[in-house]
Amino acid sequence: MSQAAEPEVLTRVEGRVGRITLNRPKALHALNVAMCQAMTEALLAWRADPAVEIVLLDHAGERGFCAGGDVRMVAQSGASNGEAAREFFHTEYRLNHLLFEYPKHTVAFIDGVVMGGGVGISRPCRFRVATERTVFAMPETSIGLFPDVGGGWYLPRMPGHIGLWLALTGARLKAADCQLVGVATDYVESARVAELKAAIIADPAATERLLTEFEADPGRPEIAAHQDEIARIFSLGSVEAIVAALEASDSAWAREQARVLASKSPQTLKVAFRQLQLGAQAASFAQNMALEYRIAARVSSLHDFQEGVRAVLVDKDNAPRWNPPTLDAVKDEALDAIFAPLPAGEEWTPLG
């Protein structure tokens, strides 16, 4: 007899700590609807439980933390009626919001890849512990998606327009940069992570002190050398102006950014630009998530997302044929339709 498959999310209480462990290592812990539902159920059960003082979020196995969401499923759904895709986004965004508003301290160990959906469940946590294995990115423009799961809230609130640079280019950050921009609150060597987790479980009230005691030096942030250039160029008023400034720059770094942007979906670049503009003005995280759900409900059915998933994840030829193919061919009317309110009864709402 074959053994029953292990749950894709492990939830349990250890001492006075509610513990959520992502357990889908072959998929780099990419999130699906069932995983989001399991995390939501545990968080709701612990929210008012006096026996749970703090929530700890981590992953099983060596490879982690979470590479994103189940975009193949979303693409397959988007190619038909989009119902499963909308269910996934609705459920995932409710989880993101639940964590953002959670009344108890939460600590996420982002010991490894933290992209897309992994950002959505770790960034709202009070403590976010990076290691030398941490790699952060919001790479959605490469597949015709957009930096969701709260990206519209977090990215424009990073210093010096770094968030827009990350949103458009999908650039990857290591631990020191993650601390610089607020993705990580703490840095610990991966060899000491298990010891730190055990110490937190033994004395959850001492979490903040323990993080200080275990703190190591991640080194100098690599993007510090480019902060002035990012601030100057990515403060410009349109994607076209940003690309023109990068192409006109005499720095090799800027020209490389221009080359990277040329490979992305023009439509998605403009969606992300507008998303961050509106997210910066949002009065609440919930308002931002409602906006992102409108975008997700529509973008998941559009050509560029289908084509991006084909090129990057299915055929893996990395030669997407974007449509529209250029920035100037992306019309404001098309963007307006993506951002417009959904029909009555179809808008995203947070959990009660």
Residues with catalytic annotation? Answer: 69, 117, 140, 148
Rounded Cα distance, 149 and 115, in Å = 10
Query: What are the E-state strand segments in 23-64?
Result: 54-59
| Cα first-last separation, the chain | 43
* Cβ-contact 114, 63 below 8 angstroms: no
Strand partners, 325: none
Print burial letters for 74-84: b (CB count within 10 Å at least 16), e (below 16).
Answer: bbebbeeebeb
Rounded Cα distance, 187 and 109, in Å = 10
* Cβ-contact 193, 61 below 8 angstroms: no
Rounded Cα distance, 330 and 116, in Å = 24
Q: With H, G, I as helix, E, B as strand and everything else as coil, classify residue 327.
A: helix
The structure tokens listed for 210 are 């323990």
Phi, psi of 351 (to 5 degrees): -65, 150
Report the run of H or E that residue 17 belongs to, with start and end. strand 17-22
